[in-house]
Structure 1
Amino acid sequence: MGIFDNLRKKNNELKIKEIIAKDYKQKYFHECKEIWKNYVPKEGQAENLQGELLREIEKLRYEAQDNGNRNWDEDYSYFCDFISKSLCEQSIFSEPEKKEITAIMSYIKECGNYAQKFNHGKTLFSPEKMAYVDDNLYDMIGDKIGQLHKAYGRPVPYEKNDNIKR
């Protein structure tokens, strides 16, 4: 890792600490509730982007809060990347919003990857690095999904990924 990589990592750490420190109240709760009720199936992937994004962020929340990321695997890493990529592709979000989305999803993934390393005996136990268990980051991403749903007003097509099992 070079000097610029170290600086970038420190800047991302500062940014995520600022995001985490924010008091946050969900703004698109009703839109998320509508997505959950109408577009997230009881099992398997959703048929549209909003449903799939919400399904994935809630799977990430559940894994962190209820399991401490003990079951973290490549599917959860994929969810982090897919959520970040899918939301950042949307023109309704500003560049600062896209940077925030990327920082949040990178942090959630970093925690999960740390937990996976610990579970395989490759690092020491550090509880604050294992799983992010507060609601605010998950709610912020949920709000972006609700905002996306409100902006489009209809389901956005999504092609299921046959390679994921969760």
Structure 2
Amino acid sequence: MKYFEQAKEIWSKYVPKSGQSNIVEGELIRAIEKLRWEAQSNGNANWDEGFEMLALYILEILNDNNVFKPDTLLDIQSDTNTLLNAENEPYLEDDLYDRLADWVIEWHIAKNGPIKREINPNLYR
């Protein structure tokens, strides 16, 4: 991971002990780590709409052609699609989650974050 320290800082500043972050970057890092933990610790045994919502949120925000070049956008789409299709075959390696976290930091830098967000009342994960 290229931006481990920056991701750690976003986690410590913007991810609450429980519940969603009211900062986009915090929620992205929280989503990535929830998806990583569910896959690696539980084999996605608890996979449901909430985890799908987390993966779709990552795709929605990072699929930003004002920040990323087309080849990176394809990689972002591929990685999030891997997660979205992982209910029966969880992705267990760290590389995909680390790449997504690095792209969060690159997005954060490009957007001069942190960026405020509204809590999603339908998300319970």
TM-score, with normalisation over the residues of structure 2? Answer: 0.94
> 1:29, 1:146 within 8 Å by CA — same for their partners in 2?
no
Give ranges in structure 1 of 5+ residues lacking alignment.
1-25, 116-129
What displacement does 1:90 show?
5.5
Q: Percent identity?
A: 39
String of CA shifts for 1:139-158, please: whole Å, max 9, x gaps.
00000011122333431121
Give the 4+ runs in structure 1 shifted more than 3 A.
none
Of residues 80-89 and 54-63 in structure 1, the stretch that sits farther from structure 2 once superposed is 80-89
Query: Equivalent of 1:159, from 102, 110, 118?
Result: 118
The aligned residue for residue 87 of structure 1 is: 62
Give ranges in structure 2 of 5+ residues lacking alignment.
none
> 1:40, 1:51 within 8 Å by CA — same for their partners in 2?
yes
Q: What is the aligned residue count?
A: 125
Residue type of the partner of 2:83?
Answer: I
Aligned-residue Cα RMSD (Å) equals 1.1
Structure having the higher helix fraction is 1
Query: Equivalent of 2:91, from 132, 144, 151?
Result: 132
Q: Which has the larger radius of gyration?
A: 1
TM-score, with normalisation over the residues of structure 1? Answer: 0.72
